[in-house]
């Protein structure tokens, strides 16, 4: 059997498992390249339910609730290429360095993950090679191609956050998420605040760091791309109408940002 596993012969993904990478609008002409690390909550068949009940697998610990709908609609509205991960962050977190202790979490919020206990080195590497690597390799290849073809490229990493974490309520509707890029996040903050009815977090509820993040440091900062992350509160986008509303909001803001960036060049 040939797997997209970089020569890895240990079995994780089988023929009835979905491919890890979901792609939409690959020929889109927008400068915005959308990524979505926590888009899906699939689990390889071999791993069963990771020892968790369905109620846990529906929670934010397994994926970014609502963001799939927003990402797909936004990709369509902007004509932007979207690259997303179908597998759950509980299988392997595609926004964590592989060296991070939470790459394959033993606990998430207060939930122990039985299926992640006592993994052999081979089991860890199978998840890395067959779920994490193909996703990040594809993002890197797409960026390579765009840079080679001199296509303007701005990396936007889409996430959602739980309204209450460890008993603490979060007041923001949406937040920008960044580290070193000082060009794009101020434009995004300005655009979101101009909508008038939003509590906008500036690097809230999270900021990006090399210890806790992968996509922005590796594909954005290390490649010298303009970049930002966005975090949307999950209760606002849990249902289809909220997903449409937020795709519309972001499409408007990014449309304005694109005009401003083009005017500067």
Q: Which residues contribute to the site for Zn ion (CB under 5 A)?
A: 38, 64, 159
- Our CA dihedral for 63, 69, 74, 77, rounded to 10 degrees, sits at 160
259-260-265 Cα angle (round to 5): 100
- In 3D space, the residue among 160, 208, 156, 131 whose CA is nearest the CA of residue 64 turns out to be 160
Strand 168-169 and strand 164-165: the pairing is: antiparallel
- In 3D space, the residue among 156, 146, 144, 134 whose CA is nearest the CA of residue 85 turns out to be 134
Nearest CB to Zn ion, comparing residues 81 and 159: 159
Nearest CB to Zn ion, comparing residues 17 and 37: 37
**Contact by Cβ (8 Å): 195, 256:** no
In the structure, how many helices (H) and strands (E) does the chain have?
8, 11
Nearest CB to Zn ion, comparing residues 17 and 64: 64
Q: What are the distances in angstroms from CA 10 to CA 21, 46, 48, 119, 171?
A: 19, 12, 17, 14, 45
- Omega before residue 221 within 30° of 0, cis: no
Nearest CB to Zn ion, comparing residues 3 and 139: 139
Nearest CB to Zn ion, comparing residues 38 and 219: 38
CB of 70 to Zn ion, least distance (A): 12
CB of 231 to Zn ion, least distance (A): 7
The rounded distance, in Å, linking the Cα atoms of 51 and 55 is 12
Nearest CB to Zn ion, comparing residues 3 and 232: 232
């Amino acid at each position: 059997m040939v797997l997209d596993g970089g020569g890895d012969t240990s079995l994780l993904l089988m023929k009835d498992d979905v491919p890890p990478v979901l792609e939409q609008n690959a020929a889109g002409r927008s400068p915005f390249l959308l990524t979505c690390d926590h888009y899906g909550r699939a689990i390889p068949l071999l791993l069963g339910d990771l020892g968790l009940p369905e109620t846990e697998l529906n929670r934010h610990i397994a994926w970014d609730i609502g963001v799939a709908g927003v990402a797909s609609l936004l990709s369509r509205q902007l004509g932007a290429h979207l690259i997303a991960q179908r597998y759950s962050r509980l299988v392997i977190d595609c926004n964590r360095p592989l060296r991070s202790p939470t790459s394959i979490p033993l606990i998430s919020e207060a939930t122990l993950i039985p299926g992640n206990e006592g993994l052999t080195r081979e089991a860890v590497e199978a998840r890395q090679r067959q779920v994490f690597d193909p996703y990040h390799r594809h993002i890197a290849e797409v960026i390579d191609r765009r840079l080679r073809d001199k296509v303007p490229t701005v990396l936007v990493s889409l996430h959602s956050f739980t309204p209450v974490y460890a008993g603490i309520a979060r007041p923001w509707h949406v937040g920008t998420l960044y580290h070193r890029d000082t060009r794009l996040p101020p434009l995004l903050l300005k655009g979101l605040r101009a909508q008038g009815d939003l509590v906008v977090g500036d690097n809230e509820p999270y900021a990006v760091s090399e210890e806790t993040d992968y996509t922005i440091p590796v594909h954005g900062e290390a490649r010298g791309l303009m970049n930002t992350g966005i975090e949307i509160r999950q209760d606002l986008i849990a249902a289809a109408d909220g997903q449409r509303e937020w795709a519309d909001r972001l499409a408007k803001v990014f449309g304005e940002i694109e005009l401003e960036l083009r005017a500067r060049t």
